[in-house]
Structure 1
Amino acid sequence: MRSGKDSGPDPADGGRQARLPYCGRFAPSPTGTLHFGSLVAALASYADARAAAGRWLVRIENLDPPREVPGSADRILRALEAFGFAWDGPVLYQSERSTLYREVCEDLKRQGLAYVCSCSRKQIAARAPSGIEGPIYPGSCRRAGLVDRTGRALRLLTQEQAIDFDDRIQGPLRQRVQSEFGDFVIRRADGPFAYQLAVVVDDWQQGVNQVVRGCDLLHSSTRQIHLQRCLGAPRPGYAHLPLVLDRQGRKLSKSSADQPLDPANPLPALRAAWGFLDQPDPPAQIERLDEFWDWALANWTLARIRRTPD
């Protein structure tokens, strides 16, 4: 993998990527069963890819073993099949890619783009201002020259340069990663590689050029774009979906009992997910799964999806 200093323009921005054959993906974490919020994300990413005659991949994001529920990956895959999703190629498991992630981290360290950090969460919280997603790391270990060893994290060096992108649903977003998030972790102190690193590496390696996912990850996008620049990786296009919330206004989790899915009777949940995405009502006479998908893929329009209010 090539990496290099962040010199400004992306080697391939989302516009150029959009002109390549479409490749999308769905990447659940195996922390429970497939729930309605996940179904919405799967449906949107699948419909957008297939309506563009593109490829659709499935990736299991199992970077954090303590959070993984045994057997949940298989249950998620079986549920996707029961709802009529058909993916291209083998399922990729992040737990099998540690060697690649480690090589990328070592390359970033050699180029002076990442550094070792010994700060604990408690120390950071005590001295850091609050940002969009918690404390903004103040760069305490930037110039410490610490040795990389067990119990120390690895952070990506950030810059104050603004990053702009135009989300296909949410519209334009501009953020300065250094001042709004700080140098962020790409390998945790307890060992696992961070989501921000793995998702960038995997999307690049798999040729994913269109990312359709929940709006809870909107503010991860600029950090991921910064890392793409550091690696010389192309920038995919992004579309961030409105979130499905539970009765208390919180994002649904896989452990939630709200809105359970019935794989033995998939059409009601598919119709509900389709409606949540502001798509036109399918004909009432559709009674079979194949009929739903034939009609849905012919009538899908991502532009109908509402923007999440500020």
Structure 2
Amino acid sequence: MLRFAPSPNGLLHIGHAYSVIANERMADAVGRALTVRIEDIDQTRARPHFEAAILADLDWLGVDWKRPLRRQSEHFAAYEAALDALRARDLVYPSFASRREIAESARITGAPRDPDGAPIFAGDADILGEREAARRRREDEPGAWRLDMARAIAGLPPLDWTELDGTGKSVMRVAADPLAWGDVVLARKDVPTSYHLSVVVDDAVQGISHVVRGEDLMPSTAVHRVLQGLLGLPAPLYHHHRLIMGPDGRKLSKSNGAEGLSALREAGLGPADVRARAVDLAAVETEA
């Protein structure tokens, strides 16, 4: 099984269309079905009308996907159970510094960055000061739960994963570098999970054998391999496809106003036109 996993916080754009195509091609190549997962753990941004628009766009594109879809917001209990298993092994700990406080501390100290460019967590005491960190812990303020990465990987063998090309052929084994991420968040203050935790649980529950996603997510596979090892979950095969970039050189995203598929449809393009444009744009990025 493969999965296309959009977040319902905006409309699908041409980059999503290419990701769907890459998933379809892999599914055909390896003889597996494709399903849809709605990654809506961020309930402050998820909107029902965006989910409806996503499903309408997929139907318009002619995507053949296996029902039913999995909606992450309906499975918080499963993610919390996985977190509890890690708590029982003393592999996670609460942290109380906010994103703003972490960013400000990193600006002052020049803290190292993770592969996504975010500051690596230095510890509450270093960020807040020992007295304030102790107060927040003592008063049981809401906090995030972080994976103690060094402790977590100490009990695991060296981790890697199999990277495939777009036809399903093995290209290479990639060594995982989880320490580059530091102590990642596994559950946020307001949500009992995170992207990293929920996707590895979902992939296992859904029997996902092949993960096809953008190359910007390739480094995070290291974190996923750690969680799979800790939780005894199978490791899928991976293909991280090229991204379509915008005129500013950044990847297309909902947040920077990438043109939605619905707008292309209203402009008179048909599904075949959009599919061809997505493939052509991805080919241009490869040549660049």
TM-score bracket, normalised by the shorter chain, equals 0.7 to 0.9
Which residue is equivalent to 2:130?
Answer: none
1:272 aligns with 2:255: no
1:113 Cα shift? 1.7
The aligned runs of 1:34-183 (5 Å cut-off) are: 34-125=12-103, 126=105, 128-133=111-116, 134-140=118-124, 151-159=142-150, 163-169=159-165, 171-178=172-179, 180-183=180-183
What is the distance in 2 between the residues matched to 1:148 and 1:191? 20
Kindly provide the amino acid, as one letter, of the partner of residue 129 in structure 1: P
The aligned runs of 1:238-277 (5 Å cut-off) are: 238-254=238-254, 256-258=257-259, 260=261, 261-262=264-265, 265-277=270-282
Answer with 196-205 or 118-127: which moved more: 118-127
Are the aligned partners of 1:33 and 1:75 in contact in 2 as well (CA < 8 Å)? yes
For residues 113-145 of structure 1, the C-alpha deviation after alignment (integer angstroms, 9 at most, x for no partner) is 21111222244331532332221123457xx99
Kindly provide the amino acid, as one letter, of the partner of residue 111 in structure 1: R
TM-score, normalising length: structure 1: 0.75
Kindly provide the amino acid, as one letter, of the partner of residue 56 in structure 1: L
How many aligned residue pairs are there? Answer: 258
Structure richer in helix, relative to its length: 2
Query: What's the RMSD between the two structures over aligned residues?
Result: 2.8
Are the aligned partners of 2:196 and 2:224 in contact in 1 as well (CA < 8 Å)? yes
Which residue is equivalent to 2:129?
Answer: none
Which residue is equivalent to 2:191?
Answer: 191
1:257 Cα shift? 4.2
1:235 aligns with 2:218: no
Which residue is equivalent to 1:290?
Answer: none
Kindly provide the amino acid, as one letter, of the partner of residue 189 in structure 2: A
For residues 257-310 of structure 1, the C-alpha deviation after alignment (integer angstroms, 9 at most, x for no partner) is 4374318721101122233455xxxxxxxxxxxxxxxxxxxxxxxxxx95x99x
List runs of 5+ in structure 1 lacking aligned partners: 1-22, 279-304
1:165 Cα shift? 2.8
What is the distance in 2 between the residues matched to 1:87 and 1:149? 45
Residue 238 of structure 1 aligns to a residue whose secondary structure is strand
List runs of 5+ in structure 2 lacking aligned partners: 126-132, 166-170
Kindly provide the amino acid, as one letter, of the partner of residue 234 in structure 1: P
